Amino acid sequence: MAVRRGAVRSVVVAGLLVLGGAGGAGSAGARAPEPEADVSYHGRVSLDRGQLRLWLVPQNEGPNALADATLRVRLSADLGDAQELAEGCARVGRREVVCETGPLPAHGQGRHIGLLLGLRERVPEVVVRVDTWWNGDATDRNSGNNEHAVLALDTGDPYAF
């Protein structure tokens, strides 16, 4: 599995911030204000004979830019053993993949992310959930537009979100 170093870095950094409580009780001085960003995702998903295609574009409505964020894709069906993931993506479970977005400028788009995921077994439908796993500790007052659940039937038809 080829994974770009940045995706793993984002996952590790997010974990360290959660576990280490960055800026927690022992830190001296006042904390810098958290940036504010409104991350959202728009894309398409299709299921065809056990192959799930996902294409999406992360967006940031601002007001601040983000150096990076990590999105999570969760499935209602198990992934197959062998996966060729897009650059910046990593498998984190039987049914989960995370991908770094790269820089998200204020009022702009991140890189386009395309995944072709093989399922362990052919199923008649799969629920695909997309959300933000880590957003650089930014405040997002509108998290509803970065949480999607899409039902894809095994017809090959694309479903937009």
Closest CA to 71 of 142, 139, 14, 141: 14
Instruction: Say if 21 falls within a structural domain.
Output: no
Instruction: Provide the domain limits for residue 52.
Output: 5-9+36-160
Check which CATH number belongs to the domain holding 142 and give it.
Answer: 2.60.40.690
Section 67-94 average pLDDT: 96
Instruction: Say if 16 falls within a structural domain.
Output: no
Instruction: Say if 122 falls within a structural domain.
Output: yes
To the nearest whole number, what is the mean pLDDT of the chain?
86
Q: How many CB atoms lie within 10 A of CB 1?
A: 9
Section 110-129 average pLDDT: 97
Domain count, the chain: 1
Instruction: Say if 17 falls within a structural domain.
Output: no
Closest CA to 95 of 105, 116, 109, 80: 80
Instruction: Say if 121 falls within a structural domain.
Output: yes
DSSP state of 121: S
Q: Of all residues in the chain, what percent carry a pLDDT higher than 90?
A: 75
C-alpha span between 15 and 34 (Å, rounded) = 18
Can you read off the two tokens belonging to residue 88? 């910046």
CA 32 remoteness from chain centre? 26
DSSP 3-state of 89: strand
Instruction: Say if 57 falls within a structural domain.
Output: yes
Q: For residue 69, what pLDDT is reported?
A: 96
Higher pLDDT, 34 or 20: 34
Q: For residue 24, what pLDDT is reported?
A: 44
Instruction: Say if 131 falls within a structural domain.
Output: yes
pLDDT at 7 over 50: no
Q: Where are the alpha helices (DSSP H) in 71-160?
A: none
Instruction: Say if 135 falls within a structural domain.
Output: yes
Per-residue confidence band for 23, with pLDDT thresholds at 50, 70 and 90: very low
Q: How many CB atoms lie within 10 A of CB 104?
A: 27
pLDDT at 29 over 70: no
